[in-house]
Chains A and B, each alone.
Chain A
Amino acid sequence: MRTLTIPKEGSFTSAVRHERLSARIGVWLGICFGLAFVTGLISHWYYLGDVPFFPPTRPVWGYRLTQGTHVISGTAAIPLLLVKLWSVYPKLFAEIPFGQGRRLVLNLLERASIAVLVAASIFQLVTGLANSAQWYPWAFSFRSTHYAVAWIAIGALLVHIAVKLPIIKAAYAEPLPEGPEDVPADPAADPAADPESDPEFDPATTPSRRAVLRTALAASAVVVLATAGSTVPFLRKISVLGVRTGEGPQGIPINKSAAAAKVTELARDPGYRLVLAGPEGETTLDMADLAAMTQRTHELPIACVEGWSASGEWTGVRLSELLDLMGAPAEATIRLVSLQPSGAFRSSELPASFARDPLTMLALGLNGQALDIDHGFPCRLIAPNRPGVFQTKWIGRIEVIA
């Protein structure tokens, strides 16, 4: 019986593992990571609050597009990362050039950068995937951690690209063949070529590198089609693994129910009054007052950070008309406060560009009915191009900040 030993790099004999394959999967993975990073930064921008300039109010579906792309590209990266790690796994066991000064230092530095890259990559995909299904098995704060590790992952990825650039270029200088028959004419010229490449290569027993690349891309496409329906309407019926069907009260899903926000009684109180705190003091409006104002209907999406989104026909009062009623200055920042007694997002701030946008409204109805309690009855904010968590529900108070 053979004893188990720690393998060496040469113990892995599959000729399919080759840097030409790794480089190509790496490029696809890099595209996914790049998309996720840029769209992640855009999402983070909305959460910053105090910034010199705010996200634009158009296109109205901007956040729907960027956050949908964020979650889809992260999901697509999962099969790619797994195949990529498989293709380079033997390198984990490569010999460390002890006693060779400069080479040893460079080797250890590269190993450290790869360790950071792999750890950060797995972390981002695992935490992102769990978050998209509203699963939080960890104790740390998701947003600040996912944001910090994103910079670490992308930084380590760029360092990795800088180190491997000659290999990537060489890999793309030649096509990826159907079999391992791409042994260079002079094997000494390319020490990374597979020593055990079999000239009697049989595609039945050994997949070609090209087939492995296609398989990784196919797996990526499968997981995207199986999940993206949470945000892409025409995929709803296909995405059998999507976190949401897109159904819900009045045809729109919800993130936080009235019960979870402990707001049901307060919101249903017949004595409900909307408090308007303007520069000249407070006034109140009851539901009849709100209903007596000019009602407008706009189609606007609700798009959440978890990557789901849905479009609805919202009916209500234009916020800027309420602000005029309060005597709020045109350039004022506005705070909307929910009736919910606690919670990180019980209030949200609207810069003047959003507060005065003609599409921004205090919605009283959705898709032809009075707003459902879980959508924020008696009234909620709905503004263009804004993350769902800032579309404050169960509004009890509107304040002028400055």
Chain B
Amino acid sequence: MKTRLLIGAFGLAMGLFGALRFLQRDLDDILDSVLWLAAGVAVHDAVIAPLTLALGALASRVLPAAVRTRVVLGFVVLATMTITAIPVLGRFGAREDNATLLDRNYTVGWLTVAALIVVGTLLVARVSDRLGQRAPAHARQPEPKG
């Protein structure tokens, strides 16, 4: 309990310091960043999360049971990679006068990574199938370490 109180008190102090720094900025900056803070949560909780649930529900109806897990997990990698790639795919920061910035073909890059994710998912599936043949699912024991 003592450890928890100590960590909590330390966290509270750091958070308050941050809040103070946050409020010491110009009013315009404060308002604009509060908007962005709230928007981030709203976009996740009201758009990304429900969309994920809907896709999950769709997957359980549309996808054959035998491949569902693999497709879903492969999709998780693909989707998170795509979200991370948004700034370069959109080239929002590109500048006419700077050819060294955003200097790749990101559509080709995205397609390449996406293809590799598909191949990787298939490979993992194949390997786990082989392991599964050796030890049937019901006989499998959890490994000792997580």
A243 to B84, CA, bound (A): 12
The yes or no answer to A398 lying at the interface (CB within 8 A) is no
Within 8 Å by CB of A145, from B16, B22, B68, lies B22
Are the CB atoms of A159 and B8 closer together than 8 Å? yes
A190 to B81, CA, bound (A): 35
What 1/0 mask marks residues of chain B from 6 to 44 whose CB sits below 8 Å from any chain A CB?
011011111111110110111011101100111011001
Q: How far is the CB of B136 from chain A (nearest CB, A)?
A: 11
The yes or no answer to A157 lying at the interface (CB within 8 A) is yes
Residue of A86, A149, A157, A240 ringed by the most chain B CB atoms within 10 A: A240
Are the CB atoms of A158 and B117 closer together than 8 Å? no
Chain A residues lying within 8 Å of B103, measured Cβ to Cβ, are 244-245, 247
Stretch at the interface among A136-144, A333-341, A344-352, A377-385: A136-144
Are the CB atoms of A158 and B100 closer together than 8 Å? no
Interface size on B, residues (CB 8 A): 82
A211 to B70, CA, bound (A): 10
Chain A residues lying within 8 Å of B7, measured Cβ to Cβ, are 158-159, 161-162, 165
Chain A residues lying within 8 Å of B102, measured Cβ to Cβ, are 133-134, 243-244
Are the CB atoms of B60 and A205 closer together than 8 Å? yes
The yes or no answer to A120 lying at the interface (CB within 8 A) is yes
Chain B residues lying within 8 Å of A204, measured Cβ to Cβ, are 65-69
Within 8 Å by CB of B142, from A118, A178, A207, lies A178
A248 to B83, CA, bound (A): 27
Chain A residues lying within 8 Å of B24, measured Cβ to Cβ, are 148
The yes or no answer to B58 lying at the interface (CB within 8 A) is no
A165 to B66, CA, bound (A): 38
Chain B residues lying within 8 Å of A401, measured Cβ to Cβ, are none
Q: How far is the CB of B82 from chain A (nearest CB, A)?
A: 10
Are the CB atoms of B87 and A253 closer together than 8 Å? no
Chain A residues lying within 8 Å of B90, measured Cβ to Cβ, are 135
Chain A residues lying within 8 Å of B36, measured Cβ to Cβ, are 123, 126-127, 138, 140
Are the CB atoms of A140 and B29 closer together than 8 Å? yes
Interface residues of B in 51-94 (CB under 8 A from A): 52-53, 56, 60, 65-69, 72-73, 76-77, 80-81, 83-88, 90, 92-93
Are the CB atoms of A78 and B83 closer together than 8 Å? yes
Q: Given known contacts A133-B88, A157-B11, A210-B146, is B98 in contact with A123 (CB within 8 Å)?
A: no
Are the CB atoms of B11 and A156 closer together than 8 Å? yes
Q: Given known contacts A148-B25, A241-B106, is B12 in contact with A175 (CB within 8 Å)?
A: no
Q: How far is the CB of A173 from chain B (nearest CB, A)?
A: 10
Are the CB atoms of A240 and B109 closer together than 8 Å? yes
A270 to B30, CA, bound (A): 47
Q: Given known contacts A158-B11, A242-B104, is B113 in contact with A226 (CB within 8 Å)?
A: yes
Residues on B lying within 8 angstroms of A by beta carbon are 3-5, 7-8, 10-19, 21-22, 24-26, 28-30, 32-33, 36-38, 40-41, 44-45, 48-49, 52-53, 56, 60, 65-69, 72-73, 76-77, 80-81, 83-88, 90, 92-93, 95, 97-104, 106, 108-110, 112-113, 117, 120, 137, 140, 142-146
Additional A-B contacts beyond A138-B36, A241-B113 (12; CB < 8 A):
A78-B83, A85-B44, A89-B53, A115-B41, A129-B84, A145-B29, A155-B14, A205-B60, A242-B104, A243-B102, A259-B97, A260-B95
Q: Can you list 23 A-B contacts (CB < 8 A)?
A: A78-B80, A85-B49, A120-B37, A122-B40, A122-B44, A130-B87, A133-B102, A140-B30, A148-B18, A148-B19, A151-B15, A154-B18, A155-B16, A158-B8, A205-B68, A222-B81, A223-B81, A226-B85, A240-B106, A241-B84, A244-B103, A248-B100, A257-B98
Residues on A lying within 8 angstroms of B by beta carbon are 14, 20, 24, 75, 78-79, 82-83, 85-86, 89, 92, 115-116, 118-120, 122-123, 126-127, 129-130, 132-141, 144-145, 147-163, 165, 172, 174-178, 181-182, 202-207, 210-212, 215-216, 218-219, 222-223, 226-227, 240-245, 247-249, 253-257, 259-260
